[in-house]
Chains A and B, each alone.
Chain A
Amino acid sequence: MGYSSKGDSGFASVPSLLRRNAAEFGSKSAYREKEFGIWQSWTWANTEEEIQALALGMLALGVNRGDFVAIIGRNRPHLYWSMVAAQMCGAIPVPLYQDAVAEEMAYVLNHCGARFVIAADQEQVDKVLEIQDQLPDFEQMIYLDTRGLRKYDHTRLHEYASLQDQGRSASAAIKSELAAREAELTYDHTCVMLYTSGTTGKPKGVVLSNRNIIETAKASSEFDGLARGEEVLAYLPMAWVGDFIFSIGQAYWTGFCVNCPESEETMGTDLREIGPTYYFAPPRVFETQLTNVMIRMEDAGRLKKRMFDYFMEHARKVGGSILDAKSVSTLDRLKYSLGELLIYGPLKNTLGFSRVRVGYTAGEAIGPEIFDFYRSMGINLKQLYGQTEASVFITQQPDGEVRGDTVGVPSPGVEVRIGDNGEVYYRGAGTFVEYYKNPESTADTKDPEGWVATGDAGFFEPDTGHLRIIDRAKDVGKLADGGMFAPKYVENKLKFYPNILETVVFGAGKDRCVAFINIDMSAVGNWAERNNIAYSSYQELAGHPRVLDTIQHHVEEVNASVALDPMLSGCQVHRFLVLHKELDADDGELTRTRKVRRKIIGEKFEDLVNALYDGSESIYTETEVTYEDGRKGKISATLSLRDAKVVPVQKLAAE
């Protein structure tokens, strides 16, 4: 293929980048973590020492070349180090989703045959011990947080810090072995294996090589001019490819600092304290944040509220243009500066966005209002389109060419083409090696020339060259009358209303579309409070007639907007219901990355779908739910089904 074994830069692996960083700017902060109320930090030199000690310890424990080392826990420096330490030993790190239930974990651990597990705390250790009988390959576990684990049987358990000490004391004897293993690493060695959550079927292990990661990190860092001085907050799941690219790939390539929050709940405070310059979040996070801002503004004093409304209005008008460096009149600029002083600046500071230079969102479509809100305040939020199989980047938006409805131009080093059926294909340096132990899937997804099918349908806009994604290719179907059915397109429009958290539209092969809707508890709850509407549970609020009225209103507005699109006007929602429970990953209704599992939902709630089509007014249903600790229960409810007004469309040439 004409690739060298090291790449142009001469760095063939993450450990080699670590050595470079420690040698060239060893005294610069590499990691921070807030613990005991204080940001503890480690320089690159400290990091090198910690990782080396752990790697020696792992070597002493018997980690071999090519072994898989599973890593389970929330974002913590020590767990990032363990990935690099595994690489040093010639082993392959496999980060897992920490909220995965035991069975999901058992599948993945078995599939890769992990001999070693590095677990963050007692909860994760318990989970693995619970399934250890199903894991013939599992041998030893290393744990980080000692709490509650002292009295466990330690024949297969090792404390992280004491393993490091063992490594340090055995250093003289095995140091050369470690150095040899590290030196063996080439561009073609596996850097990491990540399991895709998969909207259908079992998770697949995506093998990414050093070439994939380092080339991608290099190209994407250059694309946005990322430098050593960046600060990022690592809070997205470590098992997700994005976190690996940002917190390991780009961080080691450019040498910037990765900050880990104190706990999941303190995210907001930690974000504010760190003030990241480079920030990534899925649309959901931005949505929640905007909803919170709006709720709090509702409770603000009248003067503040009016100032907020006035300046946000102005920002909507000129903020985006100022950010894109387009021409804006001096008066408008002055007014915007005043707004920056009074509203935007303080608000950005509260949200922790004061220093954001480059912000990305991806994974799902983001609502145009939400997107514009952040951009108009001067936050350089952009969209990218990516996949685990591509080491994230397929397309991304360059500065100054940012729009809500596209996902940008092909990333540097990536080729993109549209197939005959509208499906998007790509290939490039970041394109994955294979699915582990699954040649059929590999062959299905990646053709011999290296083109990978994304499974998404989209097209390039002729005048701008930007890619637009319509829906999952397999979800795009036909209505009974032959019209195009793109559920995601309608769902996204619905989800842009703050009151609607999640929605599923059905209609493939039918004569019309119907929808399930999940209300957003914080937005609707706040509305209920302000309107003196009493409720005792999610279920009760979701079934309240006035809530249904509001949702109906939203649905009808969406229908009006869908009707304007000549290709998709058949996708208007004729009937809908508001679900009595929130769709949940624990019940298998969403993936761990919170994407809707359309087929499973359709099967599970078949009675409700049928009721929507047969015209009944209400329906009684029982649903099994899984609690956080894995116990199962049942909830029952009588749901009312509603008709929504649709805009009649004259049948132009529908085909």
Chain B
Amino acid sequence: MLDQAEGYTTADGRKIGGTVMDMRNITLRFGGVEAIKNISFDIREGEIRAIIGPNGAGKSSMLNVISGFYVPQEGEVWFRGEKRKPLKPFEVARQGIARTFQNIALFEGMSVLDNVMTGRLTEMKSGLLSQAIWRGKAEREEVANREICERVIDFLEIQNIRKTPVSRLPYGLKKRVELARALASEPKLLLLDEPMAGMNVEEKEDMSRFILSVNDEFGTTIALIEHDMGVVMDLSDRVVVMDYGKKIGDGTPDEVRNNQEVIDAYLGVSHD
């Protein structure tokens, strides 16, 4: 098990800090269905934290609780040392949390650049009139925001599709554009909902490389849901395993891999 002291250093030399997000005894119900049953875990500063589990285990619901989209019936979410009240989406974004979606949620008719620019929306402070005239503050703001977006575009190597409408892109690239939009808001905590779903091996390799570089270059804390066990084990520092809304494992990839309950869940042993 990990020590409870403030942070640790990983095998490849990254410094992992103290707890950023602490989920305490979370229970989430939809009517009579208990999607999440009394789960607790934490996410530490700078780490890549994976949530895995079979279909219907409650992974996406968990991510939605972290992002503040669902408010759990029981339990507390602590973010940066404060207990979190129910929030509106833009308030979540202002706290420095950004996410991508399992089913891509981009603006299909808009160009890649425009989509990425929407990631800077919370930073656009000038008024409607000023934006319309586009002089002074509005212009300066846009230039500054554009530069941040361009750095993200450069980082994710999508310069060649900058002006292409999203609807014309293949699936794998759309996923990358979504990541770009999330990164444009310069998040402290990045939530990725199945970033590799439906990708071929090469695209998965690219995406893994980008996720690692994001974590490495910007020190972004990342929580991700993923089905591909190989990817999860290679990428993440610690893994939470869920099954039928319960937490059945938590620890480093090696610990989780040797956990009998996890093996059973993945091999499909019958449940009583």
Contact = CB atoms under 8 A, between A and B. Distances in A.
A and B together in one complex: yes
19 contacts: A36-B147, A36-B150, A36-B151, A36-B153, A37-B113, A37-B146, A37-B153, A37-B159, A38-B150, A147-B155, A147-B213, A148-B216, A148-B217, A150-B217, A151-B12, A263-B159, A265-B159, A266-B160, A269-B163
B159 A266 contact: yes
Contacts of A38: 150
Interface string A138-180: 0000000001101100000000000000000000000000000
B230 interface: no
Contact of B157 (A36, A37, A150, A263): A263
B133 to A, nearest CB: 23
Nearest to B150: A36
B154 interface: yes
Contact of A147 (B13, B162, B163, B217): B217
A520 interface: no
A24 interface: no
B160 A151 contact: no
Chain A binding site: helix, strand, loop or mixed by DSSP?
loop
B67 to A, nearest CB: 28
Contacts of A151: 12-13, 216
Interface string B2-16: 000000000011000
Interface string B206-245: 0000000100110000000000000000000000000000
> Which 5 residue pairs are nearest across A and B when measured between Cβ atoms?
A265-B160, A36-B150, A37-B150, A266-B160, A262-B159
Given A147-B213, A148-B213, A35 B160 contact: no
Residue among A37, A151, A265, A266 with max Cβ neighbours from chain B (10 Å): A37
Interface of A: 35-38, 147-148, 150-151, 262-263, 265-266, 269
Interface of B: 12-13, 113, 146-147, 150-151, 153-155, 157, 159-160, 162-163, 213, 216-217
A37 B158 CA distance: 11
B98 to A, nearest CB: 21
Contacts of B159: 37, 262-263, 265-266
A151 B163 CA distance: 34
B153 A269 contact: no
Contacts of A150: 216-217
A262 B161 CA distance: 12
Contacts, number: 34
Contacts of A35: 154
Given A37-B146, A151-B13, A263 B160 contact: yes
Given A147-B217, A148-B216, A151-B13, A37 B160 contact: no
A37 B162 contact: yes
A629 to B, nearest CB: 9
B113, B159, B163, B216, most chain A CB atoms within 10 A:
B159
Nearest to B147: A36
Contacts of B160: 263, 265-266, 269
- Residue of B150, B153, B160, B213 with most partner-chain A CB within 10 A: B160
A81 B203 CA distance: 35
Nearest to B113: A37
A147 B157 CA distance: 12
Contacts of B150: 36-38
B113 to A, nearest CB: 8
Contacts of B12: 151
Nearest to A122: B213
Contacts of A262: 159
Nearest to B14: A151
A536 to B, nearest CB: 13
Contacts of B157: 263
A646 B157 CA distance: 50
A151 B11 CA distance: 12
A439 B12 CA distance: 49
B109 to A, nearest CB: 21
Contacts of B154: 35-36
A357 B162 CA distance: 30
B189 to A, nearest CB: 22
A262 B146 CA distance: 17
Contacts of A266: 159-160
Nearest to B160: A265
Contacts of A37: 113, 146, 150, 153, 159, 162
Given A37-B162, A151-B216, 19 more contacts: A35-B154, A36-B147, A36-B154, A37-B113, A37-B153, A37-B159, A38-B150, A147-B213, A147-B217, A148-B213, A148-B216, A148-B217, A151-B12, A151-B13, A262-B159, A263-B160, A266-B159, A266-B160, A269-B160
Contacts of A148: 213, 216-217
A328 to B, nearest CB: 40
Contacts of A147: 155, 213, 217
Contacts of A269: 160, 163
A155 to B, nearest CB: 16
Contacts of B217: 147-148, 150
A147 B210 CA distance: 11
Nearest to B146: A37
A38 B150 CA distance: 9
Contacts of B216: 148, 150-151
A263 B162 CA distance: 12
Contacts of A265: 159-160
A36 B154 CA distance: 6
A618 B113 CA distance: 51
A299 to B, nearest CB: 14
Contacts of A263: 157, 159-160
Contacts of B146: 37
* A36, A147, A263, A266, most chain B CB atoms within 10 A: A36
A148 B146 CA distance: 24
A151 B219 CA distance: 13
A147 B13 CA distance: 16
A262 B12 CA distance: 32
Contacts of A36: 147, 150-151, 153-154
A180 B159 CA distance: 43
A144 to B, nearest CB: 14
Contacts of B155: 147
B176 to A, nearest CB: 13
A127 to B, nearest CB: 16
A317 B146 CA distance: 49
A640 B73 CA distance: 68
B147 to A, nearest CB: 6
A148 B154 CA distance: 14
A265 B157 CA distance: 10
A38 B154 CA distance: 12
Nearest to B202: A628
A108 B272 CA distance: 66
A151 B213 CA distance: 12
A329 B159 CA distance: 47
A193 to B, nearest CB: 32
Contacts of B213: 147-148
A263 B113 CA distance: 17
B132 to A, nearest CB: 24
A269 B150 CA distance: 16
Nearest to B154: A36
A148 B213 CA distance: 7
A32 to B, nearest CB: 15
A264 to B, nearest CB: 8
Nearest to A38: B150
A196 B132 CA distance: 58
A263 B159 CA distance: 7
A40 B150 CA distance: 14
A35 B154 CA distance: 8
